[in-house]
Amino acid sequence: MTSSGRRTVYLDHAATTPMLPAAIEAMTSHLGRTGNASSLHGSGRAARRTVEESRETIAAALNAQPSEVVFTSGGTEADNLALKGLWWARLTEDPRRRRILLSGVEHHAVLDPAVWLAQHEGAELEWLPVDELGRVRPEEVQRAIEQDPESVSFVTLMMANNEVGTLQPIQEIAALAQAHEIPMHTDAVQAVGQVPVDFAALGVDAMTISGHKVGGPYGIGALVVRKETKLVPILHGGGQERDVRSGTLDAPATAGFAVAVEHAVKRQIDEAQRLIGLRDRLVDGIVGTIEGAKLSGDPVRRLPGNAHLSFKDCEGDSLLLLLDARGIEVSTGSACNAGVAEPSHVLLAMGYDDQRARGSLRFTLGHTSTQADVDAVLDHIGPVVERAMSAGLQNVGRNN
């Protein structure tokens, strides 16, 4: 509830999803227990059992081997481990492997370590172009690889865009990379639970997932990585997680994470259909009543819970705050970049002009979303857009 007593409408599931009751129960049931999963006594073995059972549950849900699930502190660490670990491993084998192929619509958890590798380690970043829907075409990847296959370190491409919801042809692109024995990483943080995710079938070498995007706890994620894929660790210490990621394992968090992943994957088909119905009603209602409102991203191959819209002559931040004052919580894009007065790098890479990139909102639905939530947005969006447009025109007048 808001301070005024109004019910809060939460439509920012892409930033974080409310924890599932079952995940809360699984996690809290272990919080009072003592035991380091690396200890050999009874309490330690009990903690280890929790971790390994959680690992097996997650692996089964994603069609991976349990030994391929490497627990991390979240999606950002998993992305960093994938990029830096692959870079150093490949460079050690062959110093010619300096090209990293990636797109300009990646999450900052991928973009920033890639830029760091370029600035500090001599990596050569090759930006794969995206079309106006935010898609990377496989032929562009093939063209980039075939320029000089021996110089490519790896390919990294997100499975589903966190801002506009567009799905990438990961399986097809992974096959192109595999044909040249080039490893591929995908950030699947937004995809798990929303679309089918089969690690073995995808053909990628490493895949990032995160707990709090699927109804699990904050502060835990995993890099699912093939056993034969070589990674140089970025953390050194006790040698946990196949000596790939050192650090004391959080047994309660792994338990909550596992329950959330299993629940999200089991309910994925039915939940996707439910969310598509809500999303389409939301999009149709906004586009049909607000002049100049346009849906961003692929209209068909997109996340079922994502509705990203741009508005004419409005600032996205103004729209967000006006909706927030009415108890409706949405986003202008990635929560990791919230508060920064810059247009979305994703929208700019898709060819949007500066105004349209700034005048966008992201509505993301999830397991708590209802028809009443959609109705609330449709009831308020008209007056909110009108007020934001008025404020924008006043600012333009003052600046002239």
Q: Is residue 1 part of a domain?
A: no
Element (H, E) at 119: helix 108-121
Q: What is the C-alpha separation between 192 and 158, in angstroms, rounded? A: 12
Domain limit, last residue, from 266, 295, 321:
266
For residue 392, pLDDT beyond 80:
no
Q: Determine which of 146-160, 248-262, 328-342 has the lowest per-residue pLDDT on average.
A: 328-342
294 and 224 together in one domain: no
CATH number for the domain spanning 318: value is 3.90.1150.10
Q: Of the listed 336, 348, 378, 391, which one is catalytic?
A: 336
Single-letter code of the amino acid located at 280: D
pLDDT band with cut points at 50, 70 and 90 for residue 217:
very high
Q: Is residue 48 part of a domain?
A: yes
Q: Express each pLDDT in 196-214 by its tens digit.
A: 999 999 999 999 999 999 9
- The domain in which residue 375 lies consists of 9-18+268-399
Neighbouring CB atoms inside 10 A of 224's CB total: 27
Q: Is residue 95 part of a domain?
A: yes
Alpha-carbon distances, residue 156 vs 55, 114, 303 (angstroms)? 24, 10, 19
Q: Determine which of 92-101, 170-179, 338-347 has the lowest per-residue pLDDT on average.
A: 338-347
Q: Is residue 109 part of a domain?
A: yes
Domain limit, last residue, from 266, 287, 308:
266
Total domains present in the chain: 2
261 and 273 together in one domain: no
Q: What is the mean pLDDT of residues 20-24?
A: 98
CATH number for the domain spanning 195: value is 3.40.640.10
Q: Is residue 30 part of a domain?
A: yes
Q: Determine which of 170-174, 257-261, 353-357, 363-367 has the lowest per-residue pLDDT on average.
A: 353-357
- Looking from the CA of 199 toward its CB, the CA atoms found within 13 Å total 28
| 3-state class (DSSP) for residue 228 | coil
Q: Is residue 202 part of a domain?
A: yes
Beta strands in the chain (DSSP E): 9-10, 69-72, 99-103, 124-128, 152-156, 184-187, 206-210, 221-225, 294-295, 306-310, 328-329, 360-364
Q: What is the mean pLDDT of residues 1-22?
A: 86
> pTM value?
0.94
Q: Is residue 3 part of a domain?
A: no
130 and 251 together in one domain: yes
- Note the pLDDT of residue 396: 42
232 and 147 together in one domain: yes
Reference 357, options 302, 316, 321; nearest CA is 316
Single-letter code of the amino acid located at 400: N
What's the whole-number average pLDDT of the chain? 94
Domain limit, last residue, from 243, 266, 289:
266
Q: Determine which of 195-204, 272-281, 333-342 has the lowest per-residue pLDDT on average.
A: 333-342
Q: Please, what is the end-to-end C-alpha distance for the chain in angstroms?
A: 41
For residue 336, count CB atoms less than 10 angstroms from its CB and return exposed for 0-12, middle for 13-18, buried for 19 or more: middle
Q: What is the mean pLDDT of residues 342-359?
A: 91
pLDDT band with cut points at 50, 70 and 90 for residue 399:
very low
365 and 240 together in one domain: no
Q: Is residue 327 part of a domain?
A: yes
Catalytic residue list contains 314: no
252 and 183 together in one domain: yes
